[in-house]
Structure 1
Amino acid sequence: MPDRSSIYLDWNATTPPHPDVLAAMHQAAAQAWANPASVHGPGRRARAWIERAREAVAALVGFDPRDVTLTSGGTEANNLALEHAFPPGTPGALVVSRIEHPSVVRAAEALAARGVHVAWVTPEPSGRVAPARFAEALDLATTTAPVRLVALQAVNHETGVIQPVTEVAQLAHARGARLLVDAIQAVGRLSRSTWEGADLVTVAAHKIRGPKGIGALVTRPGIQVRPILRGGAQERGLRPGTQDPMAAAGFAVAAERAEGAPARYAELASLREHLEGQLIRLGHEAGIALQQNGTDPRAPHVTNFSWPGWRGDELCAALDLEGVAVSSGSACSAGTAEPSPVLTAMVGPERATSAVRISLGEETTLDQIDEALRCWSRVVVRARPLR
């Protein structure tokens, strides 16, 4: 079935693979298809791509290649990071907010089910999790069990709000806890200062123009990660299973070119401002008072509005018929009837139900934005909001 969406404004869900990434993967498929664990020549050629990916990710994040564990993606990386702090039978506490990605929230709930004390931090309506709230949660959790880990994403995946990682890192370290930073929406879009102070950082290739199916957990030296899978000795035994040199080739090139991407993303701020201003005008003309979700400083390419009287998923479907791809929440939560847990925690279920996220990317143009606005206008003019 052909793709009806010609204007892609959902770069937070995934990014189109860059041509250089596809070229590297094609080269690896032809020349480096062997098992990277094999010691013969074909195996060594395959292994070279694995190590190039490891080195590129380390350089991008600002850590050492020896502390990069390649995974199947961001979800596995976040699960590995959370599991490392809580060996079975060892008391401990985790401090985390409700606006984290599902791969963190669901893993935290699983830890709670097996006896880990989980302290949930409530976000502000602005979309930011205040350091003072983390301090309160840390001190309260300590009365129950030693806090072993704090989790805080660098940039929220639905609102783009930048979180106070450095301040929370100081709070966690002062109490002897480590900080996990899900930097999947920040790496390649903002500077390293966005995750400064993290002890563990997670990355996903497909958010930086790379392939799906590969990501990384990066740690400070000396942190002992425990495997959640059992098998061979790949990735120092932390992630057993035969590595894919084609995916690694794509990840390597994507990570290398992502070092210069924050400057490209910074240029999107003016496009976003134009989009937001026109959407507010369009809503006013249609009698809809838009509500912005995420009012604290944001990454320059993301905006999120609630459209009172509409269901966000139905508005997205109507726009898709016009050839515009946007989303009503995290792609990892799509397909459910429930409103976004992130926005529900921030502003309540009613606004969450009517929310639409728009995320721009390196290839987004002003002409595309203006055409998307024309499509949006046709939708809201011809269709009565669903009340």
Structure 2
Amino acid sequence: MRVVYLDWNATTPPHPDVVAAMVEAATSSWGNPASVHGPGRRARSRVEDAREAVAALVGFDPRDVVLTSGGTEANNLALHHAFASAGGAPSQPALVVGRIEHPSVVRFAEHLAARGVLVAWVDPEPSGRISPEAVAEAMDRAVASGASVRLVALQAVNHETGVIQPVAAVAALCRSRGALLHVDAVQAVGKLPRATLEGADLVSVAAHKIRGPKGIGALLTAPSVRLSRLLYGGSQERGLRPGTQDPVAAAGFAVAAERARHTPARYAELALLRDRLQAELVRLGHEAGAEPLPNGAAERAPHVTNLSFPGWRGEELCAALDLERVAVSSGSACSAGTAEPSPVLAAMVGEARALAAVRLSLGEETTTDDVDEALARFARVLGRTRPAS
């Protein structure tokens, strides 16, 4: 049987044009981008092409793009910069962030809390949405404690549920209160219009989520933002990300970012296919003895659905589907291998439902035949595996 790949949120298959660009760069542009001779200049041009393509994708200036190893490093750098020093402020610095953010944000926030930063956590609505009112309440809570809110962190699209967060409204709130807004846009770019990110001061992206290579991403900043380094070494990336850049990965990132400017329309077309997949899975689950519960009732990106199957464990259902050559996941790829329930879903709907969850995410190459085949294989799994009593 062929594999039906429904895990595009975990990673996307590299596009053939991306692979071709990387193969060509590996032959022609293998030099050190910091070298001033011809091979170095050719390599440097690949790096700068990537910087310009990513800037055009998000709507920032190329001079404000720092290339990183991926979304995790970009998120870490974004949070680090606001709390690298006391900055002369007499009050305790504060970060406002939700528990449903990506682990690279949540774990760094916990690290900052251990360093003395006041972290005001924001609870999501059961729908999976972080409301602007809840962000405002968290900011008020921090100020009432004598702290000064320096940064608010908010995903554009949740990595597990696909719920779209109110970036523009939270950005307006941050502007009115003198705080910066960092937006993890890893799951948004290439899927939603660029206007989804309007008002963000810092934005993280990752190449492998947009048909590019793994191991490269970027943090984009407003011109007024002055980043502080996490790493120490050479002067690459203005000293913010020392280490020799990879021109081969950069070549792939450039092509992927250019393509991603035109793919939101294709993703919008997936909404009907996603809705049909979800409706049929609910029907199949009901026939098999349990009514699947959709997770994320708020507005979602058009390609993601997340369902809890009462009586099943999500990772066991995923393993059974893998034997049927259907690729789905039970949580964030960054949390794979842990026995803990998804912290995103636990915060939204409780641990029991989180343990029973399966995420399915479509992509630009997903077809009606893929969905039909996945449903047939899902039916086989549910038909021979009864939920625990």
Provide TM-score, normalisation by structure 2: 0.98
Whether contact under 8 Å (2:231, 2:242) holds in the other structure is yes
Match runs of 1:186-265 below 5 Å: 186-265=188-267
1:12 aligned residue (9, 14, 22): 9
Deviates most, 331-340 or 80-89: 80-89
Question: Aligned ranges for residues 279-294 of structure 1 at < 5 Å?
Answer: 279-294=281-296
The 8 Å contact of residues 330 and 340 in structure 1, kept in 2 or not, is answered as: yes
Q: Is the 8 A contact 2:171 2:200 kept in 1?
A: yes
For 2:35 and 2:3, locate their aligned partners in 1 and report how far apart those are by CA, in whole Å.
Answer: 44
- TM-superposed deviation, 1:281: 1.1
CA distance in 1, matches of 2:174, 2:335: 29
Q: Could you tell me which amino acid in structure 1 is paired with residue 115 of structure 2?
A: R
Answer yes or no: is 1:93 the counterpart of 2:126: no
Q: How far apart in 2 are the matches of 1:36 and 1:17?
A: 24
Asked if structure 2 preserves the Cα contact closer than 8 Å seen for 1:97 and 1:121, the reply is yes
Residues 80-134 of structure 1: CA deviation (Å, up to 9, x unaligned): 0000001244530000000000000000000000000000000000000111101
Partner of 1:47: 44
Q: Does 1:345 align with 2:342?
A: no
Instruction: Give distance in 2, aligned partners of 1:5 and 1:112.
Output: 47
> Structure 1 CA distance, aligned partners of 2:176 and 2:262?
34
* Alpha-carbon distance between aligned partners in 2 of 1:256 and 1:193, rounded to the nearest angstrom: 17
Query: By how many angstroms is 1:222 displaced?
Result: 2.2
Structure 1 contact 166–197 (Cα < 8 Å) conserved: yes
1:152 is paired with a residue whose SS is: strand
Aligned CA-pair RMSD: 0.9
Partner of 1:323: 325
Match of 2:268 among 266, 271, 290: 266
Counterpart selection for 1:356 from 337, 341, 358:
358
1:301 aligns with 2:303: yes
Amino acid at match of 2:340: E
Structure 2 distance, partners of 1:326, 1:293, is: 15
2:81 paired residue number: 84
Determine which of 20, 25, 28 is the counterpart of 1:28. Answer: 25
Deviation at 1:383, TM superposition (A): 1.5
Instruction: Report the AA paired with residue 324 of structure 2.
Output: E
1:173 aligns with 2:175: yes
Structure 1 stretches lacking a partner, 5+ long: none
Structure 2 gaps of 5+ residues are none
Q: Distance in 1 between matches of 2:143 and 2:12?
A: 40
> For the Cα contact (< 8 Å) 2:289–2:386, is it kept in 1?
no
Which amino acid is 2:283 matched to? R
CA contact (8 A) 1:138 1:147 kept: yes
SS in 2 for 1:268: helix
1:176-227 C-alpha deviation (Å, 9 max, x unpaired): 1000000000001000121111000000000000000000000000211011
Match of 2:338 in 1: 336
Distance 1:89 1:109 in 2: 18
Are the aligned partners of 1:190 and 1:262 in contact in 2 as well (CA < 8 Å)? yes
Letter of the 1:210 counterpart: G
CA distance in 1 between partners of 2:95 and 2:260 (Å): 31
Structure 2 contact 216–253 (Cα < 8 Å) conserved: yes
Moved more, 185-194 or 278-287: 278-287
Q: Could you tell me how far apart the structure 2 residues matched to 1:115 and 1:358 are?
A: 39
Distance 1:165 1:270 in 2: 25
Moved more, 117-126 or 285-294: 285-294
> Corresponding residue for 1:105?
106
Distance, in Å, in 2 between the alignment partners of 1:48 and 1:288 is 56
2-side partners of 1:45 and 1:385: how far apart? 59
Aligned partner of 2:164 in structure 1 is 162
Following superposition, the deviation at residue 5 of structure 1 comes to 6.6
In structure 1, what is the equivalent of residue 53 of structure 2?
Answer: 56
Cα distance in structure 1, aligned partners of 2:340 and 2:184: 24
Specify the SS of the correspondent of 2:150.
Answer: strand
Aligned-residue identity in percent: 73
Count residues in correspondence: 384
Aligned residue number for residue 121 of structure 1 = 122
SS at match of 1:267: helix
| Aligned partner of residue 159 in structure 1, secondary structure | coil
Deviations 1:225-278 (A, max 9, x none): 011000000000000000000000000000001100000101111111110111
Specify the code of the residue in structure 2 equivalent to 1:130.
S
AA at the equivalent of 2:43: A
Q: Which runs of 4+ in 1 moved over 6 A?
A: none
Q: Is the 8 A contact 2:289 2:387 kept in 1?
A: no
Is the contact made by 2:126 and 2:348 (CA closer than 8 Å) also made in structure 1?
yes
Distance in structure 2 (CA, Å) of the matches to 1:134 and 1:348 = 21
CA distance in 2, matches of 1:286, 1:313: 18
| 1:5/1:322 contact within 8 Å kept | no
